[in-house]
Structure 1
Amino acid sequence: MTRQDTHRPSWDENERLEALRSYGVLDTEREVAFDDVVNLIAEICQAPIAVVNLIDADRQWFKAERGLGVRETPLATSFCAKALLEQDGMVVPDAAQDPRFACNPLVTEAPHLRFYAGRLLKSPQGLPLGTLCVLDAKPRPQGLTPLQEMALTTLAGQVTSQLELRRALLERDRSEKAARLAIEASAYVGAWDWDIAADRVVADERFAWMYGVDPAVARQGAPIDLFRASVHPDDGPRLTQDIQRALEGEGGFVSEYRLVVDGTTRWVLARGQAEYDRSGAAVRLPGVAVDITERKQIETNLAETARALSESETRFRVLADAMPQMVWSTLPDGFHDYYNARWYEFTGVPVGSTDGEGWNDILHPDDQPRAWAAWRRSLETGEPYEIEYRLKHHDGGYRWALARAVAIRDDEGRITRWFGTCTDIDELKRLEQGRELVSQELSHRIKNIFAVITALVALSARQHPEAKGFSASLRTRIAALARAHEFVRPHTETSKTTVGDTTLHSFLADLFKAYADDTGEPRVLISGDDAVFDDQAATSVALLFHELATNAAKYGSLSEKAGIVFLSTARQADRFLLTWTERGGPAVQGPPSRSGFGSSLATLSVEGQLGGKLHREWNADGLKVIVDLPDAALSRRRAAIMAAN
């Protein structure tokens, strides 16, 4: 009756363990029904040890045992674990002679087991749960007698029946508990049974309390009018009609109405089914009632919310149509589903024709790739959308527009919608172009003036050779001022000066050439850390130091022949400091009584354009100006590239 250890089980171990645990028997207290079985089988088989053994994942646990004195042992030494691999059970006449158990510590050491006989305990699905077994320290070459085998098989069946009974009771308890919890958690009010002929309504306690009736009276039965007294007066006629319709029709009764008890109003849904006698007359109407107050409140709230949303949407559309801008909105994925009236007035397209991705066809062909790229980037990142492009006007031409959009997010940060506007800036663009033409014309004339002055100085020098040195120095200053003018004059995107990637020191040295001494030596001495410098910062820096140098030449150290300026630059962590220190000029009497346009322009350049801080110290021996900039302010393009990489 033995098999090799290599025998494979026909069941899944996870399913077996799940079935075992469904009985809720593991680690429970001893029970007389199971103890009686092990005592009886031990006597019948004349065995010192008998066990009801259940095989868990990593242990064998004994629901009942005789002769062991413990409730569980490790699975590694288990005889019964091997028995699970057999069809019905296992008998080991002499464990010392069986290769499966000869080295088992329970055989080689105390209690020196030699004989084992067990019958499987199986679930209705055939999954092995454990065994009923007997063990002896003496070998039994003949095994069990036929009577003992029959007793072991019969009592194993009895244990299985006890386990099934236990599971059935457990499931019943769970079901009753779940039903009770469901009823308590639900809106169930109670049940009633109306004897129509006797006009006697019998109801349970919950129904009676809800209708304001004494539960004792409801259990004995009372006229229906006693219960109907709590129905809201406005709902009484409808309830009467519903009852009459059920009694005269197919018998189904359904009615929603309000109950008013102790000043509290609640909604209930009553359902029932009329019963009839042989003549077709309704004799009984049993049913149940459910509290639907919460549902009614939700419905009311939803109706109010829907009404509010409708009113809000109407107000939004009226407001959007009244705006001078074109207003549009999209779903979270960027699908355009709304445009205001201004959009259709501007474009002249049919309503709905630009929904979805149709808006892209309204853009100038040269602007479409750029607009699409910017829009996709905003959809991917959730960042605000802003771009200038040309829109096709209803007259067939294109006009410049500024498009902006922001994402609307819910409480969890998810984008729920995009709202955007398009503003007609065509006139502004034309004014900007006109201003640029004027600026370029003025710049051209100023440069012509510099050229004329330079020519006049050169002509005068030829007539007065003794002034040749003075002439050369003056022409150098005029040329430097002309170069500085290129940076400080107003620029647009198309006309701004492009200095490329150069260094701050070389840029400033060129700017300060106009203030050199008679021999051409610089009077603004630059020292410290140099920095890469690009055209995005050129104008702001040029304005700042052109203003400082001009003021120094008028009132400060450069107004004296021996005066000088020290300009030090230093990089400190993520900041870049520029310190302008004047020496050798007139004594400083203190800060001026008012701030001039030039000083305001310098402050604006630093704090408004470069995102830094400007600090002035009016020391007696000379003005000191400290400019504190973000390290990236002098080369924004390079910083942006590095950040992207």
Structure 2
Amino acid sequence: MMTSTDDAAASRREAEARRAALAQYDILDTSAEVVLDDLVKVAALVLDMPVSLVVLVDAERQWFKASLGFEGPEPPLSAAICALTVRQRELLVVPDTTRDPRTRENPLVVGAPFLRFYAGMPLVTAEGVGIGTLCVLDTQPRVLTEDQAFVLTTLSRQVMAQLDLRRALKERRTRERRNAAILDSAIDYGILTTDLAGRVTSWNTGAQRIFGWSEAEMLGNVADRIFTPEDRAVDTPAREMETARTMGRANDERWHLRQDGSRFWATGEMMPLKGETGAQEGYVKILCDRTAQRRADEAMQKQTALLQTVTDHLGEAVFRLSMDDTITFANPAAEAMLGWSEGGLIGRNLHDTAHHHHADGRPFPREDCAVVKALEAGVALRHRETVFFRRDGTPIDVITSNAPIIEDGVVSGAVVTVIDITERKAVGARLRRSEERLALALNAAGMIGTWDWDLATDTVYADANFARIYAVDAERAASGAPLRDYVRNFHPDDLPVFQAELDRVLAGAEGDDFACEYRVLQADGSHRWLLARGRLVRDADGTPLRLPGASIDITDRKRAEERQTALVELGDRLRDLQDPVAIAFTAAEIAGRTLGVTRVAYGAVDSSEEYLDIARDWSRPDVVGREGRYRFADYGTYLPELRDGRDVVIRDVADDPRTKGHPEVFRDLGVRSMINIPLMERGRMVAVFCLQDDRVRAWTPDLVDFARNVVDRTRVALARLRAEEEQELLNRELSHRMKNLLAMVQSIATQTMRSATDVETAKEVLAGRLIALGQAHDLLMGGAIGSTLMEPVVRGALKLHEDRPGRFRLEGPELEIGAKPALSLALMLHELATNAAKYGALSCETGHVAIRWSVEEREETPHLTFSWTEFGGPVVTPPTRKGFGSRFIERGLAGQVGGTITLAYPPAGATCGIVAPLTAFQADG
């Protein structure tokens, strides 16, 4: 079942077919034609219709080729009833258009001219494509009789016949124009026609170009003037026409004459020229100037004879092979090389005869042979080294080449040349062994190559290794190149030294030995250090003739010296620096300058070990610095290696699996290779030393060792600076603590003596208080003077009174407090414990003290709450007066932390509460 989509596609194909068919008739928008106008008039008269039309239906419009009785322009295609006729391909009759569902809503029916009757016969091409209709219309309903239908059908065929005649005439004119154009464009071929008597009836441009006569000069004249006098004497033109008439074709290959009397060799043929009835009307002759080819053939024959002579005297074996590898020609050298008699190789298969085994004796199948493959593929083979075998089985080392033989565009075989290199290979083997021994000797001496400078011609002859290190073409160096070709790649700073040494030797004042160290720039931008040594050769009168010598690569030694010098410089400069940023920058600068990299930075790692902070980096003058914070994850996946303390060495960030996923960030940084060396402290990464370069670089172990050495020295310098800072801080802190301690001892002694009743009592009380102060101070010293934890302070202050487990029950979070508040807290707890031992819970076996502390939010500020509560002691009676202990408790710590302290004496046991800002407790003042 057809869908709407299928219907639409079919309609589009049909419309395109109509458009193509109408293009062949070339009739749209042409002028009126009498024959078609007459046929329209006949249809109207015979059928008694007021309107008669020849309508052509294009893909997008309808057009009236002939019309009678229709006023105005053609209606649009959407209103064309003829479109229905074209699609159904048969006579369409609509007796009353207002009743037919296909037409009753048509604009021409419901509006002017109010059509009521339609009859149309489609116009169908020979290819079966409907291109239009012959139709009649009326404003009244009608019935079309059988005779009238016959008339309309017959007239539509006449319309189509006129259209086909018009198309045929158009195509004939097109063919005639095309044929004329072809004849005129065939300037390399002379094409002429004659009548039966041999008089010229046409003469193309090619004939005029070849013969020299124009068409006007030849028309009506006998064509035998183009033949030579010899051919005319034996009646060759007439015999040629007779052969063409009787045989249908006469080949023509002979000398012909031009208008100027010169001769040329032509090939061609003559054929009968027949009319539309098939009767012969004359002859057509086609020929082509082949003079150059004939002369080339003659030259080729002479060349072939010469080539035969040459091949007979060649030292190389020459074979001609057919496509199946059969030998059709072998020169005397080939027969002698393979040990065959004259003519003995002809007809034999070359591979089976001379190439049947490998050098080691293994069989050599034809399908594996490169010579056979090249022959079968019709391709050239150049200088293939292999082994052939003589007739007696003796192997021969040979080089073979073959070139395909192409005849008439088809490969018909090949020419194979074979060169015996057995002796050459033996000589080459001896030479290679000699060169290997020389290379071993040179390498053992650290040499990279030798040279010989001819001073008279300024020509330096050098070996391949020497040429490579100086960036000179090896072949040019072997044949000789001027000195400037070598020194152009010297480091500019070293040229004056080289020239001075050269001048000294040539002057002859201090001996003829030449020695100079200098740098040579390499293609990758790096440089090599060379030591050149030579000895001047003079003639009998002392004139300098030659300066031969050798170059030794001393790059490793020089770079080791540079790195050692750099390390010495680093130690000297770091010794006087007191700023961590300056230390890190100095290390980066020296490492970058020595290794010749793009950028070096020493960065600190944050506590999460996720970020690197670079305060200042070193970079080349043409490179922008990159200070700031960097996240390791943005630059690759190597962070776990750094955290494990392993160096990250990357030759090419674009290829390394750890970094190749981040090409944009490295491109923005201008980084192509890098080294990252982590600095570890107590198992944690605290810093990274980064070296980066803008080119791919092979980081050799000695380079990495140098970078690690720089890192180690930098770490020592930073550790020295940090230790000095910590020592200074410790000294200041000790001084401060001693002053505080002496002041506190003085205060305790004064207050104790002032309230004591006798000397013995004063001694006992003062001793206890000083012991408590000493224990608290010991605790703080154990924490390196600085802040300490709350619980150890409490336990240390009460240790003297803890006569059994459970006396003091502590509860509170782990919390740091400052050194001075810790001393005051310890002394306050000592006073509370002393009072409890005399009068309170610690004075009996069942008593204990609960000590609790916590942090609470008060007025949006963290506060420390500390409480002392006694249980299980005798009934407490509030004191009648305050002694030193009570005043110390209320004023000492309160004054220290700025909080409030509350002492109470309920019967169940004494209590003490402290509330102060947490920051005051943690201050180290």
TM-score w.r.t. the length of structure 2 is 0.38
**CA apart distance, 1:382:** 7.0
Amino acid at match of 1:158: Q
**CA apart distance, 1:424:** 1.6
- In 1, distance between residues paired with 2:237 and 2:45? 76
- In 2, distance between residues paired with 1:484 and 1:345? 49
Q: Which has the higher Rg, Structure 1 or Structure 2?
A: 2
2:548 equivalent to 1:597 = yes
- In 1, distance between residues paired with 2:29 and 2:118? 24
In structure 2, relative to structure 1, the CA distance for the partners of 1:416 and 1:567 (3 Å cut) is farther
Q: 2:423 aligns with which of 419, 424, 427?
A: 427
- In 1, distance between residues paired with 2:364 and 2:338? 16
In structure 2, relative to structure 1, the CA distance for the partners of 1:337 and 1:89 (3 Å cut) is farther
Unaligned runs of 5+ in 2: 274-279, 451-464, 466-485, 492-496, 503-514, 534-542, 554-694, 699-925
Q: 1:37 aligns with which of 36, 39, 61?
A: 39
Q: 1:116 aligns with which of 111, 118, 142?
A: 118
Amino acid at match of 1:596: L
- In 2, distance between residues paired with 1:127 and 1:90? 17
**CA apart distance, 1:304:** 3.4
**8 Å CA contact retained: 1:23, 1:167:** yes
**8 Å CA contact retained: 1:95, 1:139:** no
**8 Å CA contact retained: 1:390, 1:401:** yes
Aligned length: 455
In structure 2, relative to structure 1, the CA distance for the partners of 1:311 and 1:171 (3 Å cut) is same
Q: 1:579 aligns with which of 507, 524, 527?
A: 527
- In 2, distance between residues paired with 1:255 and 1:399? 54
- In 2, distance between residues paired with 1:255 and 1:371? 48
- In 2, distance between residues paired with 1:28 and 1:377? 64
Give the structure 1 partner of residue 824 of structure 2.
none
1:431-474, Cα deviation, whole Å (9 max, x unpaired)? 34445666788999x8xxxxxxxxxxxxxxxxxxxxxxxxxxxx
- In 2, distance between residues paired with 1:12 and 1:331? 59
**8 Å CA contact retained: 2:194, 2:202:** yes
**8 Å CA contact retained: 1:49, 1:68:** no
Give the structure 1 partner of residue 153 of structure 2.
153
1:303-337, Cα deviation, whole Å (9 max, x unpaired)? 43333323323322332332212235679999987
Give the structure 2 partner of residue 91 of structure 1.
93
**8 Å CA contact retained: 1:569, 1:578:** yes
**8 Å CA contact retained: 1:119, 1:156:** yes
Q: What SS does structure 1 have at the residue aligned with 2:549?
A: helix
1:214-225 mapped onto 2 (5 Å cutoff): none
1:169-215, Cα deviation, whole Å (9 max, x unpaired)? 4456556667777887773342255xxxxxxxx957669x99x9xx9
Amino acid at match of 1:403: T
- In 1, distance between residues paired with 2:196 and 2:401? 65
In structure 2, relative to structure 1, the CA distance for the partners of 1:107 and 1:344 (3 Å cut) is farther
1:62-141 mapped onto 2 (5 Å cutoff): 62-66=64-68, 67=70, 69-70=72-73, 73-74=76-77, 76-95=78-97, 97-101=99-103, 115-123=117-125, 128-136=130-138, 138=139, 140=141
**8 Å CA contact retained: 2:320, 2:328:** yes
**8 Å CA contact retained: 1:569, 1:579:** yes
1:607-622 mapped onto 2 (5 Å cutoff): none
In structure 2, relative to structure 1, the CA distance for the partners of 1:228 and 1:397 (3 Å cut) is closer
**CA apart distance, 1:31:** 1.0
In structure 2, relative to structure 1, the CA distance for the partners of 1:569 and 1:167 (3 Å cut) is closer
**8 Å CA contact retained: 1:65, 1:71:** no
Percent identical across equivalent pairs? 24
2:335 equivalent to 1:344 = yes
2:361 equivalent to 1:361 = no
**CA apart distance, 1:361:** 1.8
**8 Å CA contact retained: 2:40, 2:66:** yes
2:301 equivalent to 1:310 = yes
**CA apart distance, 1:118:** 0.4
Amino acid at match of 2:394: G
In structure 2, relative to structure 1, the CA distance for the partners of 1:70 and 1:254 (3 Å cut) is same
Q: 1:239 aligns with which of 221, 235, 241?
A: 235
**CA apart distance, 1:14:** 8.0
1:390-433, Cα deviation, whole Å (9 max, x unpaired)? 221344221222334578999x9x99987653322211222344
Q: What SS does structure 1 have at the residue aligned with 2:303?
A: helix
- In 2, distance between residues paired with 1:394 and 1:425? 18
- In 2, distance between residues paired with 1:441 and 1:119? 104
**8 Å CA contact retained: 1:271, 1:287:** no
- In 2, distance between residues paired with 1:436 and 1:309? 45
In structure 2, relative to structure 1, the CA distance for the partners of 1:68 and 1:384 (3 Å cut) is farther
- In 1, distance between residues paired with 2:182 and 2:431? 78
Q: What SS does structure 1 have at the residue aligned with 2:88?
A: coil
Give the structure 1 partner of residue 634 of structure 2.
none
Unaligned runs of 5+ in 1: 194-201, 274-285, 447-480, 490-507, 509-543, 557-562, 586-591, 603-630, 635-645
Give the structure 2 partner of residue 402 of structure 1.
399
Q: 1:321 aligns with which of 312, 317, 324?
A: 312
1:468-617 mapped onto 2 (5 Å cutoff): 483-484=444-445, 575-580=523-528, 596-598=547-549
In structure 2, relative to structure 1, the CA distance for the partners of 1:85 and 1:254 (3 Å cut) is closer
1:516-555, Cα deviation, whole Å (9 max, x unpaired)? xxxxxxxxxxxxxxxxxxxxxxxxxxxx9xxx9xx99xx8
Q: What SS does structure 1 have at the residue aligned with 2:234?
A: helix
- In 1, distance between residues paired with 2:64 and 2:321? 68
**8 Å CA contact retained: 1:378, 1:385:** no
Q: 2:194 aligns with which of 183, 190, 215?
A: 190
1:581-610, Cα deviation, whole Å (9 max, x unpaired)? 589x9xxxxxx97663335999xxxxxxxx
Q: What SS does structure 2 have at the residue aligned with 1:597?
A: strand
What is the CA RMSD across the aligned residues, in angstroms?
6.5
1:211-254, Cα deviation, whole Å (9 max, x unpaired)? x9xx99x98xx9xxx998997542344119967998xxx99998
In structure 2, relative to structure 1, the CA distance for the partners of 1:309 and 1:19 (3 Å cut) is same
- In 2, distance between residues paired with 1:183 and 1:582? 77
Q: What SS does structure 1 have at the residue aligned with 2:308?
A: helix
**8 Å CA contact retained: 2:530, 2:551:** no
In structure 2, relative to structure 1, the CA distance for the partners of 1:125 and 1:361 (3 Å cut) is same
**8 Å CA contact retained: 1:363, 1:392:** no
TM-score w.r.t. the length of structure 1 is 0.51
**8 Å CA contact retained: 1:374, 1:385:** no
**8 Å CA contact retained: 1:270, 1:288:** no
**8 Å CA contact retained: 1:61, 1:73:** no
**8 Å CA contact retained: 2:326, 2:347:** no
Q: What SS does structure 1 have at the residue aligned with 2:230?
A: coil
Give the structure 2 partner of residue 51 of structure 1.
53
Higher RCO (CA 8 Å, separation ≥ 6 residues): 1
2:21 equivalent to 1:25 = no
In structure 2, relative to structure 1, the CA distance for the partners of 1:442 and 1:160 (3 Å cut) is closer
**CA apart distance, 1:55:** 3.2
